[in-house]
A and B are shown apart, each in its own frame.
Chain A
Amino acid sequence: MRFTTLDGLRRWLDKLAEEVDLVAPTDVDGHVLYRPVQSADAILFDYERPELSAKDFLFPATEVLLRIEQKGKDVAIEEVLPDRKQVLFGIRPCDAHGLAVIDALFLEQDPPDRYYRHHRERTVLVGMACLQMWEGCFCTSMGGGPMDTTHLDVLIRPSEGGYFLQPVTPKGVAILEGLPVEEPKGEPPSVKEYNEPVPVVPPEKWRPLFNDRIWMRHGERCLSCRICTYVCPTCRCFDVTDRVVDVQPGLTRIERIRVWDACTSPNYRRVAGGHNPRPTKPDRLRNRFYCKFCYYPEDFGPLGCVGCGRCIVACPVDVDITEVMQDVAKQT
């Protein structure tokens, strides 16, 4: 355990920002969001749960996979894997947990996702403990916690006189080498109050509820707006398409990109001939919840939800994942 003051932390971050791409919580017009920063000046040190997860920095919402250059009938394809190192500073433990969930599919299932793996290998996760649970948070029910170190390289706990920094991995030890260390003042804090736990039902108990009316009740008011998948730290579906970036006589430059996709989108499962096996909103909302609590754990191991609560806060029609979990628990 290392201790430093806010000033020490800022000096360390300023130096990091010169060496790597530094991403940290910032204030964007009143919204707390992770953003690339040039120095510690732009960083928030006392902040709520950021409105979006950190997945964008390892699995970007739009990512160029290939550059394709077509000259007449000749085509050249170049793989795009930028060789940048990044530190994600101040991410919440649930965001690191979300990345671990994505790891189970993108790293651990063959073949690994080449792009995600590339970014993941070049990323250090420096987490900031939560001193409280926020609106909708239920991480403690999903195997995490406000001070969970499990999926981080470093966990920082803010206290009265400064910050306690706990390296968790060798990467974490290495990144803390330049930190100005001081004598600890006081004790690391603890969380005083936890949100009510939410019941987690194992995958096999979800199966008999596939045709239950729960899905109608929760799904009919869904707007198919897809904000839940956008804010989710574990939703990882994607679409792949081309965009033409430059056209000159005899020369076309194309980028093959992948972009986030969402199973709550009406056309998600529509096939080329027009048939849609998931034609209604309840069908699609059910798929999202089954992916998280039944399919993903069965196929890849971890539950597909970390209890960050973002989808609860973001949903314009108050679809609440914890209400769904409670309804499922009642039925089993």
Chain B
Amino acid sequence: MSPDTNPMRPYLGRLAGVKDLATGIKLFQIELLEDEGKAAFADYKPGQFAFVSAFGAGEAPFGITSTPARTPYLEFAVNALGHVTFTLHALDEGDPVGVRGPLGNGFPMDRIKGHNVIILGGGIGGAPLRPVIQTILDHREEYGHLTILWAARSPDLLVFREEFDEWRTAWATDFHVTVDRGDETWTGRVGLITQLLEEISPSPENAIAITCGPPIMIHFVFLTLKKLGFAPEQMLTTLEARMHCGIGKCGRCNLGEKFICTDGPVFWQYEIAEFLEGFL
């Protein structure tokens, strides 16, 4: 960022595609229009986030769910829950949007390399994990075995179902999916992700587990991993908050003396254990 760049000004973009991802959740594909924006997002990392503007409503932070290697667009999974997200859901392909970022630390892929990786995604919490999965699959020889545990409250809330086949059939990859409650179409597994995790019982040896989901799920996934022998430096998560700046000024995302935006959003479990104030 050059000194004269205003970090609160979004880069202009255009909605290149909108897809239904799950009930109430859409995938937005954004094409950046300005050279500055393209340069800023040329090399964003898995786990980084950005603010998406719905002009007239405001902006909100979302984990970037794409990788620059797979698509020229920036992709965001957005659940319609508030003013900005409902306004985004009402937009069509071709409509203008704004994007500010990339922000946050992202997942430490260099430290993850060479390890067996266990991914545990709950609901829309799977969105910031998708770039990790894609990065591993695109550099398959640099990582060990990949185990993906994908969950949602119900089948209609499972995100990225179109990609399950790719994940299921990928080399040295196990894919498991579970839902808290099934429905008439669901023939798969029913149960909590923590039960699935205990059942699969992945070895902690040379492994790193990465989870994201509702705070209560992250909490219990960490407890279960601990039971399976995972050490605090083998567990990663990414936290959320309704931030307003993303650059450590607005105060909105503080967890004790930490800011989720600039200290995170990705944290090791040992960092979280030392927080004065919990995320739960």
By the criterion CB–CB under 8 Å, are A240 and B14 in contact?
no
Binds B, one of A10-18, A108-116, A155-163: A108-116
Bound CA–CA A272/B82 (angstroms)? 8
Q: Does B252 reach chain A (CB closer than 8 Å)?
A: yes
A277–chain B nearest beta-carbon distance, Å: 6
Let me know if A275 and B216 touch, CB within 8 A.
yes
Measured CB to CB, the closest approach of chain A to B159, in angstroms, equals 14
Q: Which residues of A contact B249 (CB under 8 A)?
A: 105-106, 109, 113, 236, 238
The answer to whether B55 and A70 have CB atoms under 8 Å apart is yes
Stretch from B94-102, B167-175, B178-186, B194-202 that touches the partner: B94-102
Chain A residues with Cβ below 8 Å from B9 are 66, 77, 79
- Using a CB-CB cutoff of 8 Å, which residues 65-122 of chain B contact chain A? 79, 81-82, 85, 94-96, 98
In contact, B257 and A240 (Cβ under 8 angstroms): no
A 84-115 binary contact with B (CB < 8 Å = 1; else 0)? 00000000000000000000011001010110
A252 touches B277 (CB 8 A): no
How far, in Å, is B160 (CB) from chain A's closest CB? Answer: 18
Interface members, chain B 220-264 (any A CB < 8 Å): 240-242, 244-245, 247-252, 254-257
Q: Does B191 contact A (CB under 8 A)?
A: no
- Across the interface, A75 reaches (CB within 8 A) one of B96, B240, B242, namely B96
Q: Which residues of A contact B204 (CB under 8 A)?
A: none
> Do residues B12 and A75 form an inter-chain contact, with CB atoms below 8 A?
yes
B251 touches A272 (CB 8 A): no
B28 CB, nearest partner CB in chain A, Å: 15
* B250 in complex: contacting residue of A252, A261, A273, A295, CB < 8 Å: A261
CB of B186 to closest CB in A, whole Å? 22
Docked Cα-Cα span, A70 to B57, in Å, equals 13
Q: Does A306 contact B (CB under 8 A)?
A: no
Q: Are B58 and A242 in contact (CB under 8 A)?
A: yes
Chain B residues with Cβ below 8 Å from A77 are 9-10, 12, 98
| B81 contacts A244, C-beta separation under 8 Å | no
CB of A210 closer than 8 Å to a CB of B: yes
Query: Number of B residues whose C-beta is below 8 Å from A?
Result: 46
How many Å from the CB of B165 to the closest CB on chain A? 28
Total A-B Cβ pairs within 8 A: 121
Contact of A226 with B by CB under 8 A: no
* A254 lies within 8 A of B240 (CB): no
CB distance from A151 to the nearest CB of B (A): 20
Q: Is the interface of A mostly helix, strand, loop or mixed?
A: mixed
CB atoms of B216 and A210 under 8 A apart: no
- A240 x B250 contact (CB < 8 A): yes
Q: Is A236's CB under 8 angstroms from B251's CB?
A: yes
- Residue in B1, B55, B241, B257 whose beta carbon sits within 8 Å of that of A111 in the complex: B1
Given contacts A207-B276, A241-B58, A277-B279, contact A295 B242 (CB under 8 A): no
Enumerate chain A residues within 8 angstroms of B85, measured Cβ to Cβ: 272
Query: Is the CB of B31 closer than 8 A to any CB of chain A?
Result: no
Return chain A residues, CB-CB under 8 Å to B273.
Answer: none
**B17 at the binding interface (Cβ < 8 Å):** no
Query: Are B215 and A277 in contact, CB atoms less than 8 angstroms apart?
Result: yes
CB contact between B251 and one of A73, A238, A256, A294 (< 8 Å): that residue: A238
User: Cβ of B53: which chain A residues have Cβ within 8 Å of it?
Assistant: 242
Chain B residues whose C-beta falls within 8 Å of the C-beta of A106 in the assembled complex: 249
Q: Give residues 38-68 of A contacting B (CB, 8 Å).
A: 65-66, 68
Question: Does B187 lie at the interface of the complex (its beta carbon under 8 Å from any beta carbon of A)?
Answer: no
CB atoms of B257 and A261 under 8 A apart: no
**Interface of chain A residues 249 through 301 with chain B (CB within 8 A):** 252, 254, 256, 258, 261, 263, 268-273, 275, 277, 287, 290-291, 294-295, 298-299
* CB of B104 to closest CB in A, whole Å: 15
| Minimum distance in angstroms from A88 CB to a CB of chain B | 22
Chain A: which residue is nearest B257 at the CB level?
A295
Known contacts A239-B250, A277-B215; A114/B94 CB under 8 A: no
Contacts of B12 in A (CB 8 A): 75, 77
Contacts A73-B95, A254-B56 given; does A268 touch B10 at CB 8 Å: no
In the complex the two chains form, is B277's CB within 8 Å of A277's CB?
yes
A237 within 8 Å of B (CB atoms):
yes
What are 22 residue pairs bridging A and B, where the CB atoms are less than 8 Å apart in the complex?
A66-B8, A66-B9, A73-B94, A73-B96, A114-B7, A236-B249, A237-B250, A242-B56, A252-B56, A256-B8, A256-B58, A258-B244, A258-B250, A261-B252, A271-B242, A272-B81, A272-B240, A273-B81, A273-B214, A275-B216, A295-B254, A298-B257
Binding site for A on B (CB under 8 A): 1, 6-10, 12, 14, 53, 55-60, 79, 81-82, 85, 94-96, 98, 214-216, 240-242, 244-245, 247-252, 254-257, 276-280
> Which residues in A have some Cβ–Cβ distance to B below 8 Å?
65-66, 68, 70, 73-75, 77, 79, 105-106, 109, 111, 113-114, 207, 210, 236-242, 244, 252, 254, 256, 258, 261, 263, 268-273, 275, 277, 287, 290-291, 294-295, 298-299
